[in-house]
Every structure is written in structure tokens, then in C-alpha cells.
Amino acid sequence: MRESEFWNAVDWVFPGGQGRNLAQDLVLSSLDERSPCEAIDGGGDPHEVWIAMCEAMGLPERYHYIHRLKPDERDYLA
């Protein structure tokens, strides 16, 4: 997962800027007590950060690889 794919996933799963706010404010122990933004900015693997965010928010495992789906294929996830 590239960083741009991470942000696309964040925006799709948490629309209206909610995901960007969550990525700034959500501090996760699995990211060494950092927010997803801090982890990404610190060189963290975007896919690992995305999985940590999914797990913290209770999203199903099928969301872990959302970046591999075309936008029109994501409809079945909703």
C-alpha cells in the first residue's frame, strides 16, 4: 500500500473529512502510542498503519485490502 492509497482508503471508509480527523486524533498502542498521521510521517508502513486503524475502529478484515479494489468494486463492502 502506498501512502496515497492509504489516504484514499481513509477518505472512502470515513468520508467528509472524518477519516482525516480520526487519523490525526486517534492514538494507538499498536503504533507505539502514535496517531496514524504520526506513524505515517515517521516512516511507518502505510498498510500496517491502515490495518491498525481498521482494527481499532472494529472494521471487518475485508477492509484490510481495500486499496486493491477499484472504487466501483468497493460497493460490496458497504
Arithmetic mean of pLDDT over the chain: 92
Residue 78 lies in a domain: no
Q: Which residue has the cell 516512516?
A: 43
Residue 54 lies in a domain: yes
Q: How far is CA 31 from the centre of its chain?
A: 12
Q: Which band of pLDDT confidence, cut at 50, 70 and 90, is reported for residue 11?
A: very high
pLDDT score of 77: 66
Q: How far is CA 20 from the centre of its chain?
A: 9
Is pTM beyond 0.85? Reply is yes
| Backbone φ and ψ of 60, nearest 5° | -65, 155
Q: Which band of pLDDT confidence, cut at 50, 70 and 90, is reported for residue 72?
A: confident
How many beta carbons lie within 10 A of that of residue 70, not counting itself?
6
Residues 69-78, mean pLDDT to the nearest whole number = 71
Q: Letter for the amino acid at 7?
A: W
Q: Which band of pLDDT confidence, cut at 50, 70 and 90, is reported for residue 67?
A: confident
Residue 65 lies in a domain: yes
Considering its fold, how many domains does the chain have in total?
A: 1
Domain hosting 61: range is: 3-72
Residue 77 lies in a domain: no
Residue 60 lies in a domain: yes
pLDDT score of 30: 95
